[in-house]
């Protein structure tokens, strides 16, 4: 069975979601853990995510973006912006607040998961399909994964 990782949308949308055990094919992403720590309701919840990070870092199951992932994510964001400009007739409308940061994190997750040959389980299908056009990452709809 190939490896898989969860997008932040899955963890937040399916709370309480238990991360699969170490013997599974699950590989958590440092990008997702960062986003979860950012949105933690209190210090106790933040420490839970920090513990997951350290445990997975120790056993080398953590998907951490490298320099090539950052570069490819930057290119993907550039290409997505160019495509949006083309679709909108040369003008760019303003994105919703926080959208560019979310897309940056999604692109970084996609590039690092692709390098580690992990499929991304996501509720955020449309954004990841747009990214997939430029980065051949495997995607799984959360609704299909959790059947």
State the pLDDT at residue 59: 85
State the pLDDT at residue 58: 85
Question: Can the peptide bond before residue 65 be classed as cis, meaning omega within 30 degrees of 0?
Answer: no
State the pLDDT at residue 22: 67
The H or E element that residue 47 is part of is: helix 43-58
State the pLDDT at residue 118: 96
Q: Identify the domain containing residue 98 by its residue range.
A: 3-145
Count the domains in the chain: 1
Distance of CA 48 to the CA centre of its chain: 19
Asked if 8 contacts 121 with a C-beta cutoff of 8 angstroms, the reply is no
State the pLDDT at residue 50: 93
CATH for 12: 3.40.50.1010
pLDDT tens per residue across all 147 residues of the chain: 589 999 999 998 887 777 777 667 999 999 999 999 999 999 999 999 999 899 888 888 899 999 999 999 999 999 998 888 887 777 777 767 767 789 999 999 999 999 999 999 999 999 999 999 999 999 999 999 998
3-class DSSP state of 27: coil
Burial of residue 3 (number of CB atoms within 10 Å: 0-12, 13-18, 19+): middle
Distances (CA, A) of 75 to 19, 37, 49, 114: 31, 27, 29, 15
Alpha carbon dihedral 112, 56, 60, 109, in 10-degree steps, equals 0
């Amino acid at each position: 069975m190939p490896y898989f990782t969860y997008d932040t949308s899955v963890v937040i949308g399916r709370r309480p979601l238990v991360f699969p055990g170490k013997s599974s094919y699950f590989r958590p992403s440092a990008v997702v853990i960062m986003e979860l720590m950012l949105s933690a309701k209190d210090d106790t919840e933040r420490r839970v995510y920090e513990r997951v990070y350290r445990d997975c870092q120790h056993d080398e199951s953590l998907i951490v973006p490298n320099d090539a992932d950052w570069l490819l994510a930057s290119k993907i964001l550039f290409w997505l912006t160019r495509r949006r400009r083309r679709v909108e007739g040369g003008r760019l409308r303003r994105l919703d607040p926080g959208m560019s940061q979310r897309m940056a994190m999604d692109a970084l997750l996609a590039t690092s998961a692709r390098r580690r040959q992990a499929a991304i389980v996501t509720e955020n299908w449309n954004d990841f399909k747009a990214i997939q056009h430029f980065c051949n990452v495997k995607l799984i709809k959360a609704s299909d994964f959790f059947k």
